[in-house]
Amino acid sequence: MLPTGGHQEAETTMATYTCDKCGMSVNISCASCGKALEDDSLEKPDGSKVQISKCPEGHGKVKSPLCCGQDMTCPV
C-alpha cells in the first residue's frame, strides 16, 4: 500500500553485492528504512574478521551474502 496525504518516499540506491566467481549480483536494503546496507566487518573473539552488512540508521546487521562458497563483494 502506498502512503497517502501527498507524502512521497525518497528513492534509495540499494547496495549491489556481486559474486567474484560467477558474476551473480543481488541488491540489499534495510526493510525498516529502505536505505542501502553498508559493508562492514566484525572482529570475533579469536581475532578473525567476518564480513557483514549493516543498516546506516542502526536497524541491525546481517552476515553478508554468500555465493559459490565465498562472501559476495560490494563496491559501495
Q: Within a domain: residue 70? A: no
- Residue 76's pLDDT band (boundaries 50, 70, 90)? low
Is the model's pLDDT at 6 over the cut of 50? Answer: no
Contact, 67 vs 22, CB < 8 A? yes
Task: Look up the domain containing 49 and give its range.
Answer: 15-60
Q: Within a domain: residue 67? A: no
CA separation for the pair 74, 71 (Å, rounded): 10
9-66: per-residue pLDDT in tens? 444 566 788 999 999 999 888 999 999 888 888 999 999 988 888 999 999 999 888 9
Amino acid 13: pLDDT: 60
Query: What's the domain count of the chain?
Result: 1
Q: Is the dihedral of CA 75, 26, 68, 51 positive or negative?
A: positive
Amino acid 9: pLDDT: 47
Q: Counting every residue, how long is the chain? A: 76
